[in-house]
A = this chain, B = another copy of it.
């Protein structure tokens, strides 16, 4: 039994997974409405097949034999150990459970779409309830040490626990709330120029330029339009981004493009020779998000970035931006104000949106709240943490796609990603002496090369924590994020 034959089998399983990904991409970009029912069935079948292939005892035997093989090199050993862990985990699911989950997710996604359109939560609640019950069952199947929700977080951010997330959010509450309050008492910045009419095609072209500038390879990827921007890949050689464009809001397109571009660069940077293997895969969603946030916020909302790109923006929108300076643009890009929609939230209040979802998910999994009570709880928490009234469920509890996709334990990774981004970016700034000057000149190559070398190329070689220590000398530390935002927002809001 050779390592090569295990790799070949795993790559076939990956082929099936990536085929599912193509079907999902199509579902959210181009699929006509009546295609939904059979598409759900096709996705469920592929999920069942992949699971069956993965949990085939032949795979277990190959792993067992190879574990006693001492000619494997470091990378092969790492792959083998990770595959072995994953194999044990996958075996906890039955194929029937996997197919039921896939079916329920597809149904739930359809229900969410139509409930959202009609603002009728009651159309969504029954199938969401079934999905939540399946997720609770999944926690039991997978097992956990302290809290059932640990099992769900672990799927997205391996090794992290409910307790650790609570500690992080305690910091968020302790430190971000006062900062946001102080900002609220300061003169507000003006971002009204974002809300003029901006031609769709020109926005599209501008977004493509920004992606090219970041180093996104359009020969190994593309961008399309979808209701909710996302990144998905079918190999590191075919990485798809989507964006959305609002003709009356330039900012949505810009930072959605840069954000997804950051995800895309990570996926294009994963080692192609490790296709289908753990070392060809991202570490965790938190690390994935660190890449999107780093580009979106640390780079894409910096003054230097707009000092360089203001002229480019003006070539597309000379009329709309004629009286807008780079400084104005920078300030507007960083306007802090409590708002209703997570994906439009600023860099600070964003984390309250995540906190709210984290608290709700925990309560759901603990069965302290039921699905019918979610709108009320949601609205109460928006009042509590953001001080705002939620006008309807479409813009409230139904605003996100995640729950309809069965993605519980996912939201915390958004905040974790932002915090990692700050820590990584601080390391990059230290190690790349010339970084600021390069950004000012629109040269992103060195930053991308640094990310490729320090993060992308390793795949799952290190855990999130190991990688973080390797890069910055210490584990995830909220302090980096606070230092970064205090400095930035002092400059924007508290300068005399």
Binding site for B on A (CB under 8 A): 11-12, 15-16, 18-20, 22-23, 25-26, 30-35, 37-39, 41-42, 44-46, 48-49, 217-222, 224, 234-235, 237-238, 275
Question: Are A234 and B35 in touch, CB under 8 angstroms?
Answer: yes
Q: Which residues of B contact A42 (CB under 8 A)?
A: 15, 18-19, 22, 234
Nearest-neighbour CB distance to chain B for A212, whole angstroms, equals 14
Q: Which residues of B contact A33 (CB under 8 A)?
A: 219
**Residue of chain B at shortest CB distance from A38:** B235
Given A37-B237, A234-B38, also A23-B19 (CB < 8 A)? yes
Question: Are A275 and B38 in touch, CB under 8 angstroms?
Answer: yes
Nearest-neighbour CB distance to chain B for A10, whole angstroms, equals 12
**Residue of chain B at shortest CB distance from A13:** B45
Question: Are A45 and B15 in touch, CB under 8 angstroms?
Answer: yes
Nearest-neighbour CB distance to chain B for A4, whole angstroms, equals 15
Partner of A49, one of B16, B20, B31, B221: B16
Q: Which residues of B contact A39 (CB under 8 A)?
A: 234-235, 238
Partner of A220, one of B18, B34, B235: B34
Q: How far is the CA of A291 from the CA of B237 in the complex (A)?
A: 39
Question: Are A41 and B23 in touch, CB under 8 angstroms?
Answer: no
Given A42-B15, A46-B16, also A238-B35 (CB < 8 A)? yes
**Residue of chain B at shortest CB distance from A17:** B42
Nearest-neighbour CB distance to chain B for A131, whole angstroms, equals 22
Given A235-B38, A237-B37, also A45-B22 (CB < 8 A)? no
Nearest-neighbour CB distance to chain B for A240, whole angstroms, equals 8
Given A23-B22, A237-B38, also A16-B45 (CB < 8 A)? yes
Q: How far is the CA of A33 from the CA of B45 in the complex (A)?
A: 28
Question: Are A19 and B18 in touch, CB under 8 angstroms?
Answer: no
Given A22-B22, A22-B23, A41-B11, also A237-B46 (CB < 8 A)? no
Question: Are B224 and A35 in touch, CB under 8 angstroms?
Answer: no
Partner of A31, one of B35, B46, B238: B238
Q: Which residues of B contact A224 (CB under 8 A)?
A: 30
Question: Are A34 and B234 in touch, CB under 8 angstroms?
Answer: no
Nearest-neighbour CB distance to chain B for A274, whole angstroms, equals 12
Nearest-neighbour CB distance to chain B for A16, whole angstroms, equals 7
Q: Which residues of B contact A18 (CB under 8 A)?
A: 38, 42
Q: Can you sample 5 A-B contacts with CB below 8 Å?
A: A15-B45, A19-B23, A30-B222, A35-B238, A42-B234
Nearest-neighbour CB distance to chain B for A47, whole angstroms, equals 11
Question: Are A235 and B35 in touch, CB under 8 angstroms?
Answer: yes
Q: Which residues of B contact A37 (CB under 8 A)?
A: 235, 237
Q: Which residues of B contact A46 (CB under 8 A)?
A: 15-16, 19
**Residue of chain B at shortest CB distance from A217:** B34
Told that A19-B42, A32-B222, A34-B237 touch, could you supply 17 new A-B pairs with CB distance under 8 A? A12-B45, A15-B38, A15-B41, A15-B42, A16-B45, A16-B49, A18-B42, A19-B20, A22-B26, A26-B26, A30-B222, A32-B218, A35-B220, A35-B235, A38-B234, A39-B234, A39-B238
Q: How far is the CA of A222 from the CA of B34 in the complex (A)?
A: 11
